[in-house]
């Protein structure tokens, strides 16, 4: 059996249909040392119970996914979104405190798409900046880093108006790097001709909150949200991306986050083991620091 890289973290989305107890159990059984959790299964278990379960598992906690979705204009919906993001900040802080040594309090933010009927992409991005400005004091008080995640441009209309790492960094630049950083996700940024320079910039500005990996392979699924693959099964150059991230000094856990119906239908332990094998073959050879900081 291939050795499991100590820096691998399983993002719970990879085994979406597993409840929290099962996700924690199979991650441990596969020899993986860290996990990133999603809000819905945590809320299903209850935050206090989820924190206890995480503590009992002995796993490091790497990210809380996801919050954001605040591109709408001012009104009740925007206020509800801001309030829910504050709840997510509390969740991230609680779970990070419960995780094993080396856990990180990182809340991944997906900005949200264009409001219904709008074509104002620039305005929507500015509302993202404004929302983060409201939330940054809460995050700072809780010791949580807000990690802006740029998504591939095909999601700009309905899911995320922040499409490049450069755009995410431009928004983050208004805030303390310990409070607002970025998510570097290979699936979303591999295509960008400026990606390596943007990663280098993120390192210089101390903004890399988390590094997430999975692969891109065509044809895409009918639902393009579900088009992620195990590392090594597609066309992404993990060598250059990972080496550039490593060169910034990033030495923490690396998540594999996969949305794929076929993988979700796989036995969760098998999916985690297959993820670990793909990571070992495609990502591990390009890592310098093997033990999370």
pLDDT single digits (tens) 195-226: 999 999 999 999 999 999 999 999 999 999 99
| 92-148 pLDDT per residue, tens | 999 999 999 999 999 999 999 999 999 999 999 999 999 999 999 999 999 999 999
Q: Give a yes or no: residue 197 inside a domain.
A: yes
Q: Give a yes or no: residue 291 inside a domain.
A: no
Rounded (5°) CA angle 134-146-287: 165
Residues 229 and 273 sit within 8 Å (Cβ to Cβ): no
pLDDT attached to residue 3: 87
Q: Give a yes or no: residue 214 inside a domain.
A: yes
Place 1 in a pLDDT band, splitting at 50, 70 and 90.
Answer: low
Domain span at residue 98 reads 8-286
Residue 149 has pLDDT above 60, yes or no: yes
Q: How many independent structural domains does the chain possess?
A: 1
Residue 292 has pLDDT above 50, yes or no: no
Q: What is the pTM of this model?
A: 0.96
The CATH number of whichever domain residue 89 belongs to comes to 3.20.20.150
Place 288 in a pLDDT band, splitting at 50, 70 and 90.
Answer: confident
Place 44 in a pLDDT band, splitting at 50, 70 and 90.
Answer: very high
Q: Give a yes or no: residue 292 inside a domain.
A: no
pLDDT attached to residue 250: 96
Q: Give a yes or no: residue 14 inside a domain.
A: yes
pLDDT attached to residue 291: 46
Q: Give a yes or no: residue 293 inside a domain.
A: no
Q: Give a yes or no: residue 255 inside a domain.
A: yes
Place 74 in a pLDDT band, splitting at 50, 70 and 90.
Answer: very high
Q: Give a yes or no: residue 128 inside a domain.
A: yes
Torsion sign over Cα 23, 24, 28, 29: negative
What mean pLDDT, rounded, does the chain reach?
A: 96
pLDDT attached to residue 210: 98
| 230-260 pLDDT per residue, tens | 999 999 999 999 999 999 999 999 999 999 9
């Amino acid at each position: 059996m291939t050795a499991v890289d100590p820096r691998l973290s399983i993002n719970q989305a990879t085994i979406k249909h597993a409840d929290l107890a099962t996700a924690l159990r199979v991650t441990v059984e596969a020899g993986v040392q860290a996990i990133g959790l999603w809000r819905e299964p945590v809320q299903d278990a209850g935050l206090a119970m989820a924190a206890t379960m995480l503590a009992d598992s002995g796993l490091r906690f790497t990210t809380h996914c996801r919050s954001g979705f605040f591109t709408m204009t001012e009104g009740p919906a925007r206020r509800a979104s801001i309030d829910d993001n504050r709840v997510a900040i509390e969740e991230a802080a609680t779970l990070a405190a419960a995780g094993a040594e080396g856990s990180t309090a990182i809340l991944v933010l997906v900005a949200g798409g264009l409001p219904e009927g709008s074509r104002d992409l620039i305005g929507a991005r500015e509302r993202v900046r404004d929302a983060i400005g409201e939330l940054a004091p809460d995050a700072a008080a809780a010791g949580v880093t807000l990690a802006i995640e740029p998504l591939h441009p095909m999601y700009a209309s309905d899911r995320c108006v922040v499409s490049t790492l450069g755009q995410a960094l431009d928004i983050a630049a208004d805030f303390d790097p310990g409070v607002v950083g970025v998510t570097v996700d290979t699936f979303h940024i591999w295509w960008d001709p400026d990606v390596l320079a943007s990663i280098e910039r993120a390192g210089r500005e101390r903004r890399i909150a988390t590094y997430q990996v999975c692969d891109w392979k065509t044809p895409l699924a009918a639902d393009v949200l579900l088009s992620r693959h195990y590392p090594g099964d597609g066309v992404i150059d993990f060598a250059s991306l990972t080496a550039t991230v490593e060169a910034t000094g990033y030495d923490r856990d690396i998540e594999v986050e996969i949305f794929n119906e076929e993988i979700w239908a796989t036995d969760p332990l098998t999916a985690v083991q297959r993820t670990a094998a793909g990571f070992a073959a495609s990502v591990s050879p390009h890592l310098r620091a093997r033990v999370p900081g």
